[in-house]
Amino acid sequence: MKTLLPTSTAGSLPKPAWLAQPETLWSPWKLQDEELIEGKRDALRLSLQDQQQAGIDIVSDGEQTRQHFVTTFIEHLDGVDFEKRKTVKIRDRYDASVPTVVGAVARQKTVFVEDAKFLRKQTKQPIKWALPGPMTMIDTLFDDHYKSREKLAWEFAKILNQEAKELEAAGVDIIQFDEPAFNVFFDEVNDWGIATLERAIEGLKCQTAVHICYGYGIKANTDWKKTLGSEWRQYEKAFPKLQTSNIDIVSLECQNSRVPMDLIELLRGKKVMVGAIDVATNKVETPEEVANTLRKALEFVDADKLYPSTNCGMAPLPQQVARAKLSALSAGTELLRSELKN
């Protein structure tokens, strides 16, 4: 990456109203069959164009190809029954009806590889593709087969590695694993969570990232944040082990969060995607606010390793707000670039 402070989004972007209900997570598709395939590709092109017009350096599909960041991947696997549902507590926070693991999990065919090839054809810019992480996957299911969170995570890690290798071959520059569960299950993160993530990236030559956030800007998450007190020190638990892991990039939530910025020092040597856009408010950051957050992070990340980003996905935001936030990210980053040149 030659650009100083390359910008990117941590996750999803809003979907067009003709494809899915706007401002909603898990929004059902409005199209079917061939029309849905075409519609997702059109939406991908629009989302790419939004990122390009805002001047984003590392682009993505805006997650237009999936309904949900975890379940869409799982839907493509054997061993999970989507009809057989159980209510479980997701990340110790909110109840959700989830599918059941009923047999050995396996991936018979690729999940996102054709979509990634399609994105690759649209642009010469570096592209990033997101996959769910093993620990977040197991936390979104009821396991009636392995009856061991760890065992199921290792199985998913193997499957993710197959998919990741094919995404790399399709020309993806950065593969990102979404692990919000790393901010909740600290003992498991250190016992086997990071190890399963390393299994998922085994043998990859492209860059790899792990995204750890405090969740989308939905009520269950914003209510949870209110209980976390004046300082959020969750990152402190996972960072030391992540620093010694093979993961190249760590993606964090920093804008309007109560994470003490000096915790990033624990990652020194890693590249850090610093979330400088709050996804839980429609208020658009000013370029100065973005630059302030990035400037603070620069005390703990070397400039050549700082990747300005959003806190999390923006799927639940109105289109215009998301576009304005992308532009603010670029403009704020540009302010800091010019300071660094002087």
Stretch that binds Zn ion, among 96-104, 105-113, 213-221, 281-289 (CB under 5 A): 213-221
CB distance 39 to 19 below 8 Å: yes
**What is the closest distance, in whole angstroms, from the C-beta atom of residue 218 to Zn ion in the complex?**
11
Edge to edge, what strands does the sheet with 142-143 contain? 78-90, 94-106, 142-143
DSSP E strands in the chain: the ranges are 78-90, 94-106, 128-132, 142-143, 174-178, 207-212, 249-253, 271-275, 306-309
Of the candidates 141, 195, 192, 132, which has an alpha carbon nearest to the alpha carbon of residue 164? 132
312, 315, 317, 336: which one binds Zn ion (CB under 5 A):
312
CB distance 257 to 280 below 8 Å: no
Give the contact letters, 222-261, x = binds to Zn ion (CB under 5 A), - = no. Answer: ----------------------------------------
Q: Which of residues 261-300 bind Zn ion (CB under 5 A)?
A: none
CA distance 315 to 304: 29
111, 213, 273, 314: which one binds Zn ion (CB under 5 A):
213
85 pairs with which residues across the strands?
99
**What is the closest distance, in whole angstroms, from the C-beta atom of residue 342 to Zn ion in the complex?**
34
Size of site (CB under 5 A) for Zn ion:
2
Neighbour count for residue 334 (Cβ, 10 Å): 17
Stretch that binds Zn ion, among 101-109, 209-217, 232-240, 291-299 (CB under 5 A): 209-217
70 binds Zn ion per the rule CB under 5 A: no
**What is the closest distance, in whole angstroms, from the C-beta atom of residue 176 to Zn ion in the complex?**
10
**What is the closest distance, in whole angstroms, from the C-beta atom of residue 38 to Zn ion in the complex?**
29
Residues that bind Zn ion (CB under 5 A): 213, 312
